[in-house]
Amino acid sequence: MLFGLHWDTAHGDLAFAASILPMLLIGMWVTIEASILGFFVALIIGLILSVLKAAPSRLIRWPALAVAEFIRDTPLLVQLFFLYYVLPDYGIVLPAFLTGALALGIQYSAYTAEVYRAGLEAVPHGQHEAARALDLPARRTFTHVVLPQAVPRVVPAMGNYLVSIMKDVPVLSVVTVLEMLNVAKIIGDQTFNYMIPLTMVGGLYMILTIFASALVRFADRKLPKRGIALR
């Protein structure tokens, strides 16, 4: 029994699969929640990192570069264990789900920081010069000229990272988060049938990533290529 639901092991494979589907869907919902929360954390920390990495002062820039490289080069699993076991030693006790989302966000912030940088750099230099020629103040140049043109370049790349985050959520199962894979593992442990739940998780993941990729492509198509006004 899981989530108050029972599995049916007496009436063949199909009945078993049908009986565990609701449980896997509950797990899938947790997977989606964790991906979205982790994604937002990655967007925010990544923005901070990319600003620090471009800071004029070396005293800020170099540590930021080192931190980003360190995050990028170490495994999510180990970062997650670090947060999960070390934070409580310093009095920060978070629920496993939040620790997991935080770990996902930190891991992917190293990647999103690069996306921000590439997006801003892709705006042609002439645009900056034109803004200067028109005597626009620096702040308005950024918010009204550079940013609107950077956003359409950033969105598809960020979307791809959202899909990657989704595929990394099963790692959170090691800190007891009941996402899809963990649910399947528990069902397998209890019924001695791993084949069906794990295969179903694979199938559900295919559906999830195909759907998410289609959504990213749709957003990419809908965004005007020449930039959107952010007002």
Query: Judged by CB under 8 A, which of 188, 191, 219, 228 binds another protein?
Result: 188
**Between 35 and 149, whose beta carbon lies closer to another protein?**
35
* Site for another protein contains 35 (CB under 8 A): no
Residues between 143 and 172 that touch another protein (CB under 8 A): 166-171
DSSP state of 145: I
Residues 77, 83 contacting (CB under 8 angstroms): no
Q: How far is CA 192 from CA 3, 141, 166, 209, in A?
A: 19, 62, 27, 28
- Residue with structure tokens 């200067």? 132
* Site for another protein contains 174 (CB under 8 A): yes
Shortest distance (Å) from residue 74 CB to another protein = 5
On the 0-12 / 13-18 / 19+ scale of CB atoms within 10 A, 214 is exposed
Instruction: Dump strand ranges (E) for 9-168.
Output: none
Query: Judged by CB under 8 A, which of 86, 134, 138, 215 binds another protein?
Result: 86
Shortest distance (Å) from residue 194 CB to another protein = 4
* Site for another protein contains 36 (CB under 8 A): no
How many Å apart are CA 152 and CA 173, to the nearest integer?
A: 34
How many Å apart are CA 208 and CA 195, to the nearest integer?
A: 20
Shortest distance (Å) from residue 157 CB to another protein = 14
* Site for another protein contains 205 (CB under 8 A): yes
DSSP state of 5: B
Stretch touching another protein by CB under 8 A, among 4-12, 94-102, 205-213, 215-223: 205-213
Stretch touching another protein by CB under 8 A, among 1-9, 50-58, 70-78, 128-136: 70-78
CB proximity list for 64: less than 8 A, separation 6 or greater: 49, 52, 53, 55
* Site for another protein contains 211 (CB under 8 A): no
The residues binding another protein (CB under 8 A) are: 70, 72-79, 81-82, 85-86, 89, 166-171, 173-174, 181, 184-185, 188, 193-195, 198-199, 201-202, 205-206, 209-210
